[in-house]
Chains A and B, each alone.
Chain A
Amino acid sequence: MKKAELMDYDKALELFEPVLGFEVHVELNTKTKMFCGCANEFGQGANTNTCPTCLGLPGGLPQVNAKAIESSIRLGLALGCEIAEHSRFARKNYFYPDTAKNFQTSQYDEPIAFNGQLTIELESGRLVTVDIERAHMEDDAGKLTHVGGATGRIQGADYSLVDYNRGGVPLVEIVTQMIEGGEADSPEIGRTYVAAIREIVKALGVSNARMEEGNVRCDANVSLRPRGSNVLGTRTETKNVNSLRSVERAVRYEIQRQAALLHAGGTITQETRHWHEDTGITSAGRPKSDADDYRYFPEPDLVPVAPSREWVEELRATLPEPPAARRKRLQADWGFADLEFQDVVNSDLLDAVEATIAAGAAPQAARKWWTGEVARLANVSGVSADSLVQPVQVAALIELVVAGTLTDRLARQVLEGVIGGEGTPIEVVESRGLAVVSDDGALIAAIDEALAAQPDVLAKIRDGKVQAAGAVIGAVMKAMRGQADAARVRELVLERAGAAE
């Protein structure tokens, strides 16, 4: 549907109530795959991490990765879920080239975790509690590349290529209950919910949690209920919405698209839809039909998982502080204004700033350096700020500024040296000879010279026009190549000129 044909968002909400649901897939960062000892890593070349089990060859036998079970239980607990006393795997049967076994090993009637809750906070301060139906374990599919069609699309492709390195990597799929009452906030609920999941798996350390690399993937279900009706509308499932911003945009788009269709007397087809990041629209995928007859049955090659209550409680004790609570605590501790704190969070620098403060820096200075100069340099080289420099180095740099050894301008040069691998801030200061000139003798010599060269300025200062001192301070700073503390120079200029402040 063209953008112009969409219904106005406000009008859509006047006529319909949006009902949402999300399925979020989290790729675990175990060392090996879910059911075999192949390495869980990519980028080594295609099909380098495969074996008879993850290729579905005759004789392959799955063996459950203990770490993946542990990560799944911890994730379930962090989502407030109950952990099943008895859980089992099931085969989900379908034919598709990215699934070499012709079935996905998943969970059906006995998921490892169920009945959870996650409360998220919207920008307005509104709290929304999302009920989690289940979190179940499964294995990922391989990666397809389509050849011969337009720009890698499956439509019109002549053939496809498969890399099974990702096939068999452990996933946890988190399924929400229906989310009603979201109203105009529905798109923001989608984004905030996925952001909260991402934050939780990152804090738990169970996933690398990089959406751009597919570690966290979201399918968004949207349906509309006409106002005054209690009958649910037909839902669509928009697949692979893989950035936080896209979740928000896709939900909003589906609300406007479905509203326009329904209002014009049309019907919604129950189908999967594809999100197009570039154009900001969804397009029809396959309709839900016979193809969804997956004929689940219990996996005969695996025995049930029955985590003891002792183990579950042990794992519960390893849970980190919930990210939302941690944010509240840190903002209060640091005394940051909402915008200052949001800046840190949105730049993904909470850990870096916290570590810098722990290393002795003042909160505002830590925030300023990370979201300022470090972020700028990271942006220039296209990497994340926290991969550029260690928090302890930033703290050491700030300490040098506080001690008066460096001005901000000199500190920026030192930072570049540290990032360039020249050593710690102190080592860079020494090797580059960048410290502030704090030897008053050298400063006084430069000041006397500058005053002698500008007798009219000297006269003005003596007349009490202290603002005239700026010209002399500038000349002295230039003579010192910036390596002087301007405030100290000013004091000395006034002293040497014999002016009383």
Chain B
Amino acid sequence: MSEITAEQVAHLANLARIDLSAEEITRLTTELGQIVDSVAKVAEVATPDVPATSHPMPLTNVFRADTVVPSLTVEQALSGAPDRDGDKFRVPAILDEE
């Protein structure tokens, strides 16, 4: 069995800004543990002659030319913003007052 703990799940949820109930944390602790165990099984069959990859496509060096293409208009860019002030996105105070 993996050693995923409820504390780890709560920490991860906090980092990811996901609000989880106690029940959800319990359920996810079990499920994440199972996922980690499954990955460990795969690792068992991966012998040293199987190189680690981070991408399924056997591709490298896919580049684009350094050529400007039209951007969104300011109105398009701001159309999905919850709040704006002139041409800028407006966001709530970043630091909590103590």
Distance, CA A93 to CA B14, complexed state (A): 13
B61 touches A306 (CB 8 A): yes
Distance, CA A69 to CA B17, complexed state (A): 33
B residues less than 8 Å from A66 (CB atoms): 63-66
Which of B27-35, B40-48, B82-90 is the interface stretch? B82-90
For the complex, is B95 an interface residue (Cβ under 8 Å from A)? yes
Interface residues on B, range: 35 or more
B77 touches A159 (CB 8 A): no
For the complex, is A211 an interface residue (Cβ under 8 Å from B)? no
For the complex, is A405 an interface residue (Cβ under 8 Å from B)? no
Which of A39-47, A224-232, A418-426 is the interface stretch? A39-47
B74 touches A64 (CB 8 A): no
A155 touches B95 (CB 8 A): yes
B93 touches A157 (CB 8 A): yes
Nearest Cβ in chain B — how far from A310, in angstroms? 13
Interface residues on A, range: 35 or more
Total number of residue pairs linking A and B with CB closer than 8 Å? 132
Nearest Cβ in chain A — how far from B10, in angstroms? 11
Distance, CA A50 to CA B73, complexed state (A): 8
Contact of A38 among B63, B71, B86, B94 (CB under 8 A): B71
Nearest Cβ in chain A — how far from B28, in angstroms? 16
A161 touches B65 (CB 8 A): no
Tell whether A293 pairs with B89 under 8 Å between CB atoms, given A51-B71, A304-B60. Answer: no
Dominant secondary structure at the A interface: loop
Contact of A295 among B15, B67, B92 (CB under 8 A): B15
For the complex, is B57 an interface residue (Cβ under 8 Å from A)? yes
A95 touches B62 (CB 8 A): no
Q: Determine the residue in chain A with the shortest Cβ distance to B75.
A: A47
Contact of A50 among B62, B71, B91 (CB under 8 A): B71
B74 touches A57 (CB 8 A): no
For the complex, is B69 an interface residue (Cβ under 8 Å from A)? yes
For the complex, is A481 an interface residue (Cβ under 8 Å from B)? no
A residues less than 8 Å from B91 (CB atoms): 97, 159-162
State which residues 47-70 of A face B: CB under 8 Å.
Answer: 47-52, 55, 57, 63-69
A residues less than 8 Å from B14 (CB atoms): 290
Nearest Cβ in chain A — how far from B95, in angstroms? 6
Contact of A51 among B57, B62, B72, B89 (CB under 8 A): B72
For the complex, is B39 an interface residue (Cβ under 8 Å from A)? no
Nearest Cβ in chain A — how far from B87, in angstroms? 4
A157 touches B11 (CB 8 A): no
Nearest Cβ in chain A — how far from B65, in angstroms? 6
A162 touches B89 (CB 8 A): yes
Q: Determine the residue in chain B with the shortest Cβ distance to A311.
A: B61
Contact of B60 among A32, A65, A306 (CB under 8 A): A306
Distance, CA A242 to CA B55, complexed state (A): 38
B15 touches A50 (CB 8 A): no
For the complex, is A203 an interface residue (Cβ under 8 Å from B)? no
The contact sample of 17 A-B pairs, CB cut-off 8 A, is A31-B67, A37-B69, A38-B71, A39-B71, A55-B77, A63-B64, A65-B66, A67-B65, A68-B66, A93-B15, A147-B85, A156-B97, A157-B94, A159-B91, A161-B88, A300-B54, A303-B59
